[in-house]
Structure 1
Amino acid sequence: MTRSPVTIVALWLLAVARSATAAGTANVTFVNPEKFTDAGYSRETPTERDLAALQRDLERHVQKLAERDLADGETLAVEVLDVDLAGRFQPSARIDDVRIVRDIDWPRVRLRYTLSRNGVADPSVEERVSDQSFLMSINPYSSGDRLRYEKAMLDDWFRQRFGRR
């Protein structure tokens, strides 16, 4: 079976595109998650289950961003120091598992990160990441995603700091 020149060129371009895709990694750790400002998925004071789910969800998201945007050989070490999720639980609400989201309760994450390239680390940087206009922008995440505002905020932050180069 012979292949046409167009097919050969298309296969070659596909191979080049795959080799050029980003393939960085991220290692995410959480510092004293029990002291986070607001990390409860289902109530104001988070349960161990809430904290474990939050950590898992944030870690997966940051790892996905690193795989997508960091170059091969780059590793991002992220320490999450504090989380304040968008919205609040209203003490007067009859149902304690409903988070009320208003523009005055924007998402915030405090973190420290170090980017390493081929084993050589840049200096660590500590930042407070927040999005005060989180309700005014288009959010690509489902309304059922418990971290939809935080993920969109981290997407923007990641793109600004480490976007594909």
Structure 2
Amino acid sequence: MNARPLACLVLALSLASCASTGPRMVTGSGQPREVGEGTAVNVRWADPAAFSELRYSQNHREAARGDWVVELADYMQAKITKAVPAGDRVDVEILDITRAGEYEWIPRATSDDIRVMRDVYPPRMTLNFRHVDASGAVVAEGERKIADLAYLQSQPPFPANDPLRYDKRLIDTWIRREFKR
């Protein structure tokens, strides 16, 4: 038996598996665009490629890496669910996200995938939402532009190894203000 065709087949299968298991990208076609569908709190968004986080990033490749949009939407959905009374319905559309920090080019650095936290890179979100109570009356609705301009001035409520800690605190602050009982 000739070993060369077998070796080529093994190599081709290895390369194919590497290509399909690469890093997840928030702009990937297989990524969800909604969480909580069919529940009391639904959070959806359009293509993250249009978000400021990706359009204005100094490192588009790193900014698009991961599933941070889904993680933030899941977090928002869970927190709103706890904040509103049973029977209420909330629909949120995320229109734009700028995460806390930015990728900066640093001379003589060995990597450009380090997110730098500075006061000039605060977390920001633009949301459109509608809150309806159990009787069907609209409690609140509209567009909200939220930001935490002093995000580095106070202790983050999450562990330091959570890369979305400042963005989650921004969501928490908005939910406390918007859905206070």
TM-score tier by shorter-chain length is 0.7 to 0.9
Following the alignment from structure 2 to structure 1, what is the Cα–Cα distance between the partners of residues 122 and 63?
24
The alignment covers a number of residue pairs equal to 138
Identity %, equivalent residues: 28
Are residues 1:88 and 2:102 paired? yes
| Stretches of structure 1 lacking an aligned partner (at least 5 in a row) | 1-23
Distance 1:140 1:102, change over 3 A: same
In the alignment, residue 75 of structure 1 is paired with which amino acid? R
Secondary structure of 2:152's counterpart equals coil
| Stretches of structure 2 lacking an aligned partner (at least 5 in a row) | 1-38
Are residues 1:77 and 2:91 paired? yes
* Residue of structure 2 equivalent to 1:27: 42
Distance 1:126 1:66, change over 3 A: same
Deviation at 1:74, TM superposition (A): 1.2
In the alignment, residue 46 of structure 2 is paired with which amino acid? V
* Residue of structure 2 equivalent to 1:13: none
Q: How does 1:1-165 map to 2 (within 5 A)?
A: 25-39=40-54, 44-46=59-61, 50=65, 53-92=67-106, 93-118=109-134, 120=136, 122=138, 124-163=141-180, 165=181
Q: So what's the TM-score if we normalise by structure 2?
A: 0.68
Following the alignment from structure 1 to structure 2, what is the Cα–Cα distance between the partners of residues 48 and 128?
21
Higher gyration radius (CA)? 2
Following the alignment from structure 1 to structure 2, what is the Cα–Cα distance between the partners of residues 73 and 135?
37
Following the alignment from structure 2 to structure 1, what is the Cα–Cα distance between the partners of residues 41 and 54?
21
Deviation at 1:139, TM superposition (A): 1.5
Deviation at 1:91, TM superposition (A): 2.5
